[in-house]
Amino acid sequence: MLTGVDLEDGVEDSYFDYCPWDFGPKASAAQRVAQSTHQERLAETGASLGPRCYVSPAAAVFTDVLCLGADSYIAGYAYVTGKVRAGSDCSVNPYATVRGRVTLGDGVRIGAHASLLGFNHGFAPDEPVHRQPLTSEGIVVGDDVWIGSNVVVLDGVTIGDHCVVGAGAVVTKDLAPWTIAAGNPARPLRDRRGRGGSGTAGPESQLGDAVAEFAERAQAQAADVLARGWSDDTGRYSDRPGVPATVRAHCDAVEIADLLLGAPPKQLTATEHTERLRELQDPVSGLVPELAAGGGPGTLPAPARDGWIEDGTAEYHVLSVGYALELLGSRFAHPVHVVERMTARQLVARLEELPWRTRAWSAGAWVDCWATGAHRNRDVAGESSGGSGALEALFGWLATRVDPWTGMWGAAPSPTEGRLQLVNGYYRLARGSYAQFGIPVPYPERVVDTVLAHASDQRWFAAGRQNACNVLDVAHPLWLAGRQTRHREGEVRAWASEQLTSALGRWRDGAGFGFGPAGEGGSGPGREPGLQGTEMWLAIIWLLADLVGVSDRLGYRPRGVHRPEPARSPMFAVP
């Protein structure tokens, strides 16, 4: 029998801990006063509760942010911490756990003993687990969602509108709207509207089948693709046969092998791959120049007046080599000194000088390199790089220079290129800064508007004209902004479906993907299949599949340069 204080209507206080939905019709006047007092105490800590809400005094609510819409409740013995925002008519049932950064839509039901864990921490071998840094991508749950008892939802997951998650499931990947999912790990079973199940096959189900068939084909041929780029004579990787060996080709090989095989390329051992890449870093600047003609470490030009070295290839190697080493379980041998030595004042001066109005892509690429160097320096030195306040200065400058009409940085569309420079520059900038450090992008709805307008430009996206750079630079911003808004979601999904169908047909057996048409959309290795095109299109296909809601059928998730998760926890979170 439940224990508690027996009030005049015969319903004990503890009854509502387990049946909070009855508080409205059954609570006594005294119980209503007690609940109001309890909510006032929560409000003093910053909580915002809508009308007709109920929060059990027996619930452990220790939040930094708590927002509940009307008619929502938290039952007894629930454990709620972090930054939790819920719409109207939401329920957190007894013994459920909601922690970290969690956002719920309207009409969400969280069953008893379920856990939504909107945070995580590392488990690298160099530190005890209890000293590992916390990360938080957050969990987003749409409208009209039922999360069954004993379900576990992990950090970084988005559950779309109208989903049902069966009891005991462990949700590790996003679920598309209307999905019924179950299992450990949770997998889509069918569509609530009857699509793709019981003998029917809707468009998403058919596309999911095509994605799964492609993944099986690519994984079976991955070893041949990697061997095609390897030269026994030089002991190096080239993008494709007949072209010189490059640093990027080696990094692309590591990323492809990680995606499709879950192991380093078999041409070298993991230790040999690591040593080959680490020895290429210039110890003075911390950059990685292109290979010399004989295949050994290259050289860099003289530094500019602020100490920076102008070399676009070496700048990109901060990304490609750094992430390849991370996939191999290693890191740079030296800090990226050109970033480490740059003060906040020097950084702002260089940002002001970048060619935002004429070459927004180049400006965005520079920001990507600098921010990635700052990220890598934390790996090496364990502290902020670039001088006191330099990284904060970067985000401060970006926040005050973003165009609220486009959500981007750079010039207006041009007659010759349209929005190409603007959108492609945004991808590089946002990848290295906001995405890499787990910080929400400003004006996400305007980003979606700008990117969709660009994606309709037939000069770059008509059939046969797409290249990997241009499609990636649309898919990633739509995916990134889509983590914050469902603005024009149907149009985004339609564009992604069209591009995904087209991309799956570009695979060449035993050779992989070509980058795309040379001379139509900028530089790149062209149509011939190679390691760069293969690495980029594999990541693009994941992004497109995730926008459509079928990425779980691929069986892989990028972990390198094009990883969807932040590489670091948000920089400015309060410890």
With a cut of 70, say whether residue 494 has pLDDT above it.
yes
Average pLDDT, integer, range 517-527: 66
With a cut of 50, say whether residue 515 has pLDDT above it.
yes
Higher pLDDT, 52 or 125: 52
Mean pLDDT of the chain: 90
Whole-number Cα distances in Å, 216 to 220, 229, 531: 6, 21, 18
Highest mean pLDDT among 9-18, 466-475, 566-575: 466-475
DSSP string, 297-354: ----PPP-TTS----HHHHHHHHHHHHHHHHTT---SS--HHHHT--HHHHHHHHHHS
pLDDT of residue 83: 95
CB atoms within 10 A of CB 234: 13
With a cut of 70, say whether residue 64 has pLDDT above it.
yes
pLDDT of residue 33: 94
CB atoms within 10 A of CB 284: 12
pLDDT of residue 284: 94
Could you give the CA distance from residue 183 to residue 189 in angstroms, rounded to a whole number?
9
Say whether 165 sits in a helix, a strand or coil: strand
With a cut of 60, say whether residue 570 has pLDDT above it.
no
pLDDT of residue 196: 43
With a cut of 60, say whether residue 543 has pLDDT above it.
yes
pLDDT band at 204 (very low <50, low <70, confident <90, very high): low
Rama region for 149: left / alpha / beta (φ>0; ψ in -120 to 50; rest): beta
First to last CA, the chain: 43
pLDDT of residue 375: 94
Could you give the CA distance from residue 238 to residue 253 in angstroms, rounded to a whole number?
9
pLDDT of residue 8: 43
pLDDT of residue 135: 83
With a cut of 80, say whether residue 519 has pLDDT above it.
no
pLDDT tens, position by position, 89-113: 999 999 999 999 999 999 999 999 9
pLDDT tens, position by position, 415-438: 999 999 999 999 999 999 999 999
Q: With contact defined as beta carbons under 8 Å apart, do 475 and 495 qualify?
A: no
Query: Residue type for 111, please?
Result: G
Q: Which two tokens stand for residue 302?
A: 């003289």
With a cut of 80, say whether residue 387 has pLDDT above it.
no
Strands 170-171 and 152-153, by their bridges, are parallel
pLDDT of residue 195: 47
pLDDT of residue 388: 66
Higher pLDDT, 522 or 169: 169
Q: With contact defined as beta carbons under 8 Å apart, do 52 and 23 qualify?
A: no
pLDDT band at 194 (very low <50, low <70, confident <90, very high): low
With a cut of 50, say whether residue 520 has pLDDT above it.
no
pLDDT tens, position by position, 350-360: 999 999 999 99
pLDDT of residue 203: 59
Own/partner pairs for 355-359, CB < 8 Å, 24+ apart? 356/409, 356/410, 356/411, 357/410, 357/411, 358/411, 358/421, 359/421, 359/425
Lowest mean pLDDT among 35-39, 252-256, 564-568: 564-568
pLDDT of residue 382: 57
pLDDT band at 567 (very low <50, low <70, confident <90, very high): confident
pLDDT of residue 208: 87
pLDDT band at 188 (very low <50, low <70, confident <90, very high): confident
Lowest mean pLDDT among 50-54, 172-176, 197-201, 377-381: 197-201
pLDDT band at 211 (very low <50, low <70, confident <90, very high): very high
pLDDT of residue 189: 82
CB atoms within 10 A of CB 17: 19
Report the percentage of the chain scoring pLDDT > 70: 92
Which residues are known to be catalytic? Answer: 121
pLDDT band at 127 (very low <50, low <70, confident <90, very high): confident
Helix (H) or strand (E) holding 540: helix 531-548
pLDDT tens, position by position, 222-258: 999 999 999 998 899 999 999 999 999 999 999 999 9
Say whether 520 sits in a helix, a strand or coil: coil
The burial of 400, by beta-carbon neighbours within 10 Å (0-12 exposed, 13-18 middle, 19 or more buried), is given as exposed
Q: With contact defined as beta carbons under 8 Å apart, do 16 and 22 qualify?
A: yes
Higher pLDDT, 297 or 238: 238
pLDDT of residue 225: 98
pLDDT of residue 202: 52
